[in-house]
Amino acid sequence: MSNTNSRLLLFAFFAVALAIASGSLFGQAFYGSVVGTITDPSSAALRGATVALTNVATGERRQTMSGSGGEYQFLNLVPGMYRVEVEQAGFKKATRENIEVNVSGTVRADMAMEIGAATQTVEVEATAPLLKTEDANLSQVVTTRAVEELPVNGRNLLNLAALVPGVVPQGTTSGNAITGKNIFAAGNYQIGGGMANQGAVYYDGVPANSALGNLVNMVPSPDAISEFRVQTNSNNAEYGRYSGGVINISSKSGSNQFHGSAYEYFRNTKLNANNFFSNATGQGRTPFHQNQYGLTGSGPIKKNRLFFFVGWEGFRSRQGNNYFGTVPLPEMYTGDFSGYKNASGAVIPIYDPLTQCGTGNNALCPGGVEAAAYSAGPARQPFPNNIIPASRFNSVAAKILAFPLEALPNQPGQAFTHLLNYSTTCTLGGNNDQENSRFDYAASDRLRVFGRYSRWHSENVPCAPMHNGIYANDPYAPEQFTTTQAVAGVTYLLTPSMILDVRASYVRFPYIRAESFENISLSKTFGFPAYMDQQIPVIHSGPGTSIPSFGISGYTTASGLHILSSEDDYLLTPNLSWIKGKHTLKFGADWRDMQNGYYQTFDGGTFNFTNNITAQNGLNPGASGNALASMLLGFGGPINGSSGSETAFSRPWESLHYQGYYGQDTWQATPRLTVTAGVRWEIPGVWRERYNRVASFDPHELNPALTGIQVNGQPIYGAVDFANTSQMPHEGMMREHFRLISPRLGIAYRLNDKTVIRSAGGIYYLPSNLQFSVAPWAQTINSYGTQWLATVDGGVTPYSSLSDPFPNGFISTPGNQPHDRAQSLLVGGGLGNIPLGFLRYPYQEQWNFTVQRQLPGGAALEVAYAGSKGVHLPTGGLQADFLPRQYLSLGSALNNQVPNPFYGLVKTGTLSAPTVTQAQLLLPFPEYTSVSEAYADVFDSTYHALQMKVEKRFTNGGTVLAAYTFSKLMSDVASLTGWLDQNAGSPGYLTSLQDPGNLRAEKALATFDSRSRLVLSYAIDLPFGPGHKFLNGANGFEKRLVGGWSASGISTFQEGLPIALTATGTAMGPGYGRRPNVVPGCQKTTSGPAQSRLNNWFNVSCFTVPAAYTLGNESATDPVLRTAGINNFDFSLLKKTPINERFNLEFRGEIFNVFNRVQFGPPNNSVTTAANPTTGFVTTQVNQPRLVQLALRLLF
């Protein structure tokens, strides 16, 4: 989106703001609080007045006295409508009705008394409190009316967080039903410049975030909640263990009246539009059937004392999904590659790896050099007529392909290349069931107790896109999630000015993903050696052997991943509030114990194939060779130093203990000035494992397994230290942090009755060790792969084939071995997800300055500058064992084979061969193939934003909100949970470090930077029927026909996200990525409508592949190129018809993507010189085509 479009969005915001202001559109973590000042007719403070507060719905009543400055406060109030009554001798009784208390909000209700008899009553008019006068954070309430009526695709209420300035949905967060992987993505938002998916979600004051990944494990039904608040900047000291913002959800509770509902939401194929690419290929609409239904009931068990709410919701969805891929031509299975052509129609030759020059009996390569040093030109002879003789077929490969591994083509695909020559329909969706029950007990005026039990079970529908029984990976894999949450809370008034609140919760969250064909025989099914059947079940702590994962570069394959997870979280949060004059002091603690058992692996192993072995030159394959041809010969490709692996896995039981303590003072310095100051102390905890199967890496310690061995004349450093040993005398993966202090300060000043100025700031520490990849289960000592060495020289010559991929057998997990034995096992492999010593803890600084102004017509305008800075931000996978940059100048000589000093000591991997590459011995830790840091602390981010909103609330509950954000987010680290963004609106790929020795060069626009975003939401009554402007006098049938109509909608306009380009070519060793070179002066962008640019989203000629062993000059994300933006309208029309005095029937029709706008997916981002490049091609639609949903609700 251009700057011109950004200005148009800004103009549109002000246009909407003017409309809202004119009124022309038809006419604490969980608790809230009420504050105010009592004055006499001269505006002097009135001390000693009796102030009573009553919950209108439940009849609960509290009482206090006004202080010396006339001030009063009521804390820890359940969200709802309240009434304030004030009495004082010599004054009329003053009453103020309809005071709305929102979740985590403070309402000011000042009362001016009139002289007179106490038997007289003065009613003070109440209006919706839009000016936020008592606290300085940036937040927005999503009201009950908005939750009930706004059209939400899939009824995922967290989607409504996107209505708020400073919130940008990521990946599959919005617009899809909550089944399958989208459960994990439900909370995947970038809030206030924080890292995506790192915010906190609270449900009735307790966190709903999982320990692993910070994923949201509970998304309540909209019919079970009353409202929620999105807090995007500078929250007070009550909140910790998050970055960015907080979403605070309040559940529904019972009242003194019985209420209930029965409902169903219905969708069908015939109501929907077709996918853009289905239309383009002449395919009809995919099947779509969805039903969402439920029951709720609430009311009193004992009036004014005991109340209940119960609800159940079922969800059933079956949605056809178009699956596109590229599969081999039928004749290729017989070895005939004569039809394998490039885009110009020229045959791409297949070369015989056994004719490699400089090996065996073959002549030396041109220039008289060995094969490993030759990358300049052809090094092999092609197969005659591009046909591989059947006699050369590997028997295992033949059985794998005959399984069948691939489907046959059913589309012509692109001319000559046959790309995208396969399509099918996969059924997605699944089943959800959710139960919620809550009980509230007002035992006395001083004691209130509540409890809630929720259970949410979801399972998705798996798909085998090749119709061979092998499930694909996300989002097609079979998965089951179940969340059980129990919450209890006690609020006790020790004195009228001192309140104790204690909250406790328990959450259980098991997750299962099954693989295809569990407990199969690899030898009988595919012809693998019998030892694989015998040994694989022994080295796994999970279930038996399943279908391996086969990856064939250039072709679409399906493979499943087996995951078993079970998490148990315990929480206790005591809080004490003390009102002392103009000060409200609050102290509290936050104790969390999180436990998890986790298993994840490909039970049958992984086998990868590339074109290297059948290219004209294995070191520089270019536009020759074919991965399927390599597979037919039984040889894999050089991927990360090996061609696959079989992973031994010990299922660790891990735990993390978090502690947070805070104190804060809210000082009402004057009736116009409120200052909130607080501090939070956090002990974030570290991952521990029941049997101490966790470790860290000490780069300065001599490796005890290699004593006496030298490389390049130097002893060998780098040792793995296990927990609770003399080298690592503590229990966790790393030493714990005890000095995390986070100050918070906020100031709110009422300039006058219509203008408020606010400013705030604070420090916020991220959730600890929240990535999946940093938990103990992911460490090499618990997840150790025996490597398949199909080639040990980068693809120059074959080494071992599919017929005997693991000739030395398998290695058990080092974590189950004695310490010395484990050190020896680890040598020669890659160390994955291991922390390096004591790490600095990541945090975010936030600040804001805000002006809010009441506008004519009862609206309010808020303009804010919001900023944040991420410090010591983490990432997984930062390579510590990378080749120093000065050695890149050696070029292809880095691949020269030299004697291996570790030969005989290593049993698996490239270091088990007699020779190794020269590059391996130049690494900082040559005894390992890689050392991947689990929790690098070297990245940062900066965020600056102009955030504006205009809001108007109507007396009947209607609301209109316009929110605009203009921002810039710079970072040198991408999302920690980018895997949630696959096939979604964000680029779907993370930036990879190009030069791990120069991290400053990685600073660029963040992959989730959204420069300009405008959201308009509204839920309003239409002005027809009794009590409205038009047809006010209607009665009888006419009254039923024209009355009760309301409309709601959400319109979203957002600029696209930055594109991160990669480049193919010669790998430069662990840690190095590849980015292209930019052609100077070249126009990167292409012009024309989006549909005309699907095959050239950007000017590919502006980018070139860098020469071998050199770095590209493209930035981590391109400063100009962006994905398609959002231009979407959702609309709902609702008709409520009374049946009798107690029952109402409500019919609604909802349309999502009203104008059927297409949001195209990200383009292919790989700049390459290989055959059949699709760089710059867009082949996916990430939003849903127009969908229509009908609903019927019975209310009483």
Nearest to 721 by CA among 745, 699, 740, 744: 699
108 in any annotated domain = yes
Residue 871 forms part of a structural domain: yes
Does the residue 745 lie in any domain?
yes
pLDDT of the residue at 989: 42
- Inside any domain, residue 630: no
- Work out the number of other CB atoms within 10 angstroms of the CB of residue 1036: 7
Residue 542, in any domain of the structure: no
Q: Are 185 and 178 in contact (CB under 8 A)?
A: no
pLDDT of residue 150: 96
Tell whether 169 is covered by a domain. no
- CA–CA dist 369, 358 (Å, integer): 7
H or E element, residue 279: helix 276-280
- For 172, 190, 538, 1188, the CA distances from 162, given in Å and listed in that order, are 13, 10, 48, 21
pLDDT of residue 353: 93
Closest CA to 124 of 103, 108, 135: 108
Domain end residue (candidates: 83, 98, 124): 124
Q: Can you give the residue range of the structural domain that contains 656?
A: 639-937
CA atoms within 13 A on the CB side of 2: 7
| Residue 961 within a domain | no
Q: Which of 1120, 1013, 1012 is nearest to 1060 (CA)?
A: 1120
381 domain residue, yes or no: no
Mean pLDDT (10-residue bins), the chain, 1196 residues: 56 50 48 92 92 95 92 92 94 92 91 85 69 88 93 89 93 54 74 89 92 85 94 94 93 95 95 90 86 97 96 91 89 97 94 90 85 79 97 96 93 92 86 96 94 94 86 77 95 93 95 78 92 81 75 85 87 95 94 88 87 88 91 84 78 88 94 95 90 88 91 93 86 88 96 94 84 69 83 83 90 76 83 80 96 92 97 83 92 89 86 90 94 84 97 86 97 70 45 81 89 97 85 78 92 93 81 91 95 94 92 93 94 94 94 95 86 82 91 96
Query: What's the CATH code of the domain at 62?
Result: 2.60.40.1120
Decide which of 106, 124, 142 is a domain's last residue.
124
Task: Give ∠ CA 347-350-352 in degrees, rounded to 5.
Answer: 155
What is the structure's pLDDT at 976?
65
φ, ψ of residue 1120 to 5 degrees: the values are: -115, -40
Q: Within 10 Å of residue 352's Cβ, how many Cβ atoms?
A: 18
404 vs 426: CA distance, rounded Å: 18
Closest among 1104, 1122, 1121 to 1113, alpha carbons compared: 1104
Q: What is the rounded radius of gyration, in angstroms, for the C-alpha atoms of the chain?
A: 32
Q: What are the CA-CA distances from residue 649 to residues 354, 538, 593, 779 (Å)?
A: 36, 10, 25, 10
CB 1063 within 8 A of CB 1154: no
Q: How far apart are CA 578 and CA 1142, in angstroms?
A: 43
Q: Please, what is the Cα angle at 962 between 956 and 967, to 5 degrees?
A: 155
pLDDT of residue 220: 93
119 vs 274: CA distance, rounded Å: 69
Among 908, 937, 966, give the residue marking a domain's end: 937
Residues ≥6 apart with Cβ < 8 Å to 346: none
Cβ contacts of 294 within 8 Å, gap of 6 or more: 221, 223, 261, 262, 263, 311, 312, 313, 314
Q: How many domains does the chain have?
A: 2
